[in-house]
Structure 1
Amino acid sequence: MDAASNPFEPGAGNQPPELAGRDEVREKVRIALERAKRGRSARGLILPGLRGVGKTVLLRQIGRDAAAAGGVVVTLEAPEQRSLPALLIPQLRVALLQLSRVAAAKEHAERAMRVLTGFTRALRVKYQDIEVSLSGEAEEGFGDNGDLEQDLQTLLVQVGAAAAAARKPVLILIDELQYVKVTELGALLSASHRLSQEALPVMLIGAGLPQLLARMAKAKSYAERLFEYPRVDALPEEAARRALVKPAADEGAAFEEEALAEILRQTRGYPYFLQEWGKHAWDFAERSPITLDDVVAASAAAVLALDEGFFRVRLDRVTPMERRYLRAMAELGEGPHRSGDVAEQMNRSLESLGSTRDKLIRKGMIWSPAYAEIAFTVPMFDRYLKRVIPDAEADEEP
């Protein structure tokens, strides 16, 4: 098999050769954008899911779909240490420049740009990570009070007016939305609510870890009514098969049925893992079709690649105490687990581990699917921890 023709693309956010199993979400966005373009209210989407299920890939594809349909796309990734205004301002400026090229929207877009200028100047003192400096005249008294919730509403309403005049919906895509601070998230939700009430064509599509839902509810009690929440999860069997079979067929290759079954068993349909196994099975196979023996031989390389490139980067972010907590969770199995059972596994009191648990949630390592329960945000992380820390007591401090 020619390695240069290998179609499989494991990597953080890499576009797979076949985006299988996500048509329903893409169709929801298409319908919502078309409604927004016609001046009708449309709910945005929030895409919760574990690591490795393809949220980033799906979000980027949604952006490409929207741009191809004539929309204006604002794409953000929310790192842990950046403020929402710092991320939004430069991207909204670009969006307004695009809208200003439409003659019918030019006046509205120019006014929105003046509001953005005032918004930026008013918030630079409060949010010192705002790097962009906008010159020109500000629209005095609009979006320049220094209160993020009020000002963001005013700003996005002006952006919406320009989008409506241009008949070009604006789509704001935010990845890793769980890292946006609750107060800033509340301001964004408040602005989304106002846009929906006024049927303006500005929509938010966000993606994040499962704990995002609890953060949104904490930020605004009405958050659940503002959006649709299609969960991004492992692929069903038919879609997982297509993610492997079609890219191989496009290169003139095939998988034997037993080989496919083994990859599906090993990966459980998680998109990132499918790409990793597909890549290594292709490289190990001497010829088509790829056989069960090829997959078995490739599995060790696939596991090693996941350990070094997908799992370890997350374990490297935790303290020794947090590491012990995660290993205790792994000893109990895949989960979810009761917090009390983890404490018992560590021979510690539940109260003494509360801070460790909270820090791991903030770091995106675990989440709470129900009261007093915790689970890994990374699929199969329990197996990885058992591989790299075979003895549950091996990582204890002396």
Structure 2
Amino acid sequence: MDPVKNPYAPGAGTPPPILAGRDEILTKARLALERVKIGRSEKSFIAVGLRGVGKTVIMNHVQTLADDNGYHTAYIEAYDQISLASEITKKLRPILLKLSRKEKFEDLAKKALRGLRSFASALNVSFSGVDFSIKSEEGLADSGDIIADLPDLFVIVGEAAKEQKTAIAIIIDEIQYLSETDMEALIMAIHRCNQRSLPVLLFGAGLPQLRGKMGNAKSYVERLFDFPTVDALNQDEAARAVLEPALNEGVEFQKEALNEILRVTLCYPYFIQEWGHAAWNAAETTSITLEDVKKATPAALDRLDKGFFRVRLDRMTPTEKKYIRALAELGPGPHRSGEVAFIYGAEVQSVAPIRSSLIGKGMVYSPAHGDTAFTVPLFDDFMKREMPDWKADEKQ
């Protein structure tokens, strides 16, 4: 069929044509936004899940909801070695400049802007744009300790927003990449805003280990945030994600073709988009058959191998690749760390640093003490394709 009209959208954070199965979490976001805007208390939330479940799509949708509710939004995509101080400075500066232009309510907003400059200066962060008219606010968020300063900064920002009957939504994707210090500072800042009923919300998304990481930073985190799990779709939701985009273009999937896509994708949203995209391009008529899907599978796997999977493999050292391949030998998981070490060919203690490094890189996580699992669905099959003779290669 015509590839130009292909409705499926495989890509990092690309909105799918049908956002199936996410109504509950989006309703939660909408409720929080509306309640906080009118001065009611509501928890922020951190969505957790594996790669490819659509967390980034959800965060983008939450930003749209916030914008539609009159919020000022700061969207941050975290990464290795991110400086939260630098990112927060860049994102809050235009918001505070906008708030400070309203003459009737400019005092608090200008104080917040001066506080932001103090914060940036104390933490050696560039205050981009170099507004020479904006001086530092002595004694406000200027200790140089982000754990002390970020809560003070958020409070004055929240007070400025409250005075102007508006609100701030901070959205952080891949939040697990924040350092322990930055994580603690962020949690304390949101906690302080909650204590003072200030209109500041945090929406975040990250990998499953995030609950434990945030809990280690502050013990009260479970009372401060909800942690909704974003998982694979159920069969009905997955079927809708496959069928509706095609039906909107006058194309149907035969039942056997649909069932095959649900089987090979395990109902993960990103993989549904890849197989839907490949099946559409493989089909010659407006009725997509089982044969079309089977013909499309090599193309879908090739795209995944060269993109989605490959970028993650390329970040690993040789010893990390060996550990991942040993884990893959056992199947999807989770698996006991001792089993992985046995397949690897070493004692648990000697491979523990490799496992810790892979957790830090977001490649594996520990769903329970002593267990190890992939953060990327189907990665075990990819590693078997990529390193089929890894034991033989080692002996040579």
Please, what TM-score do these two structures have when normalized by structure 2?
0.96
* CA RMSD, 1 decimal: 1.6
Number of aligned residues: 395
Q: 1:349 aligns with which of 347, 350, 353?
A: 347
CA shift digits 1:340-388 (9 cap, x unpaired): 1111112211111111111111111101111111100100111111111
Tell me how far 1:104 sits from its aligned partner. 5.2
Aligned to 1:330: 328
Q: Is the 8 A contact 2:109 2:160 kept in 1?
A: yes
Q: Is the 8 A contact 2:90 2:127 kept in 1?
A: no
Whether 2:78 is the aligned partner of 1:78: answer yes
Q: 1:91 to 1:257 in 2, by over 3 A?
A: same
Aligned to 1:42: 42
- Which whole-Å CA distance do the structure 2 matches of 1:309 and 1:347 have between them? 30
- Which whole-Å CA distance do the structure 1 matches of 2:65 and 2:246 have between them? 25
Q: 1:108 to 1:48 in 2, by over 3 A?
A: same
Aligned to 1:92: 92
- Which whole-Å CA distance do the structure 1 matches of 2:128 and 2:322 have between them? 39
- Which whole-Å CA distance do the structure 2 matches of 1:105 and 1:226 have between them? 30
Aligned to 1:165: 163
Q: 1:218 to 1:299 in 2, by over 3 A?
A: same
Deviates more, 1:274-283 or 1:211-220: 211-220
Q: 1:226 to 1:134 in 2, by over 3 A?
A: farther
Aligned to 1:139: 137
SS of corresponding position for 2:347: coil
- Which whole-Å CA distance do the structure 2 matches of 1:310 and 1:344 have between them? 28
Q: Is the 8 A contact 2:34 2:69 kept in 1?
A: no
Aligned to 1:180: 178
Tell me how far 1:133 sits from its aligned partner. 4.8
Tell me how far 1:66 sits from its aligned partner. 1.0
Q: Percent identity?
A: 50
Q: Is the 8 A contact 1:328 1:392 kept in 2?
A: no
Tell me how far 1:333 sits from its aligned partner. 1.1
Q: 1:327 to 1:351 in 2, by over 3 A?
A: same
Tell me how far 1:100 sits from its aligned partner. 3.4
- Which whole-Å CA distance do the structure 1 matches of 2:339 and 2:281 have between them? 43
- Which whole-Å CA distance do the structure 2 matches of 1:247 and 1:258 have between them? 18
Q: 1:35 to 1:314 in 2, by over 3 A?
A: same
CA shift digits 1:37-74 (9 cap, x unpaired): 12122110101111111111110011011101211111
Q: Is the 8 A contact 2:323 2:340 kept in 1?
A: yes
The amino acid of 1:112's aligned partner reads A
Aligned to 2:147: 149
Q: Is the 8 A contact 1:85 1:130 kept in 2?
A: no
SS of corresponding position for 1:393: helix
Tell me how far 1:93 sits from its aligned partner. 0.7
SS of corresponding position for 2:61: helix
Q: 1:258 aligns with which of 256, 274, 277?
A: 256
- Which whole-Å CA distance do the structure 1 matches of 2:205 and 2:142 have between them? 29
The amino acid of 2:107's aligned partner reads E
Aligned to 1:275: 273
> Where does structure 2 lack aligned partners over 5 or more consecutive residues?
none
Tell me how far 1:99 sits from its aligned partner. 3.0
- Which whole-Å CA distance do the structure 2 matches of 1:311 and 1:132 have between them? 39
Tell me how far 1:130 sits from its aligned partner. 7.5
SS of corresponding position for 1:334: coil
Q: 1:103 to 1:49 in 2, by over 3 A?
A: farther
Tell me how far 1:271 sits from its aligned partner. 0.7
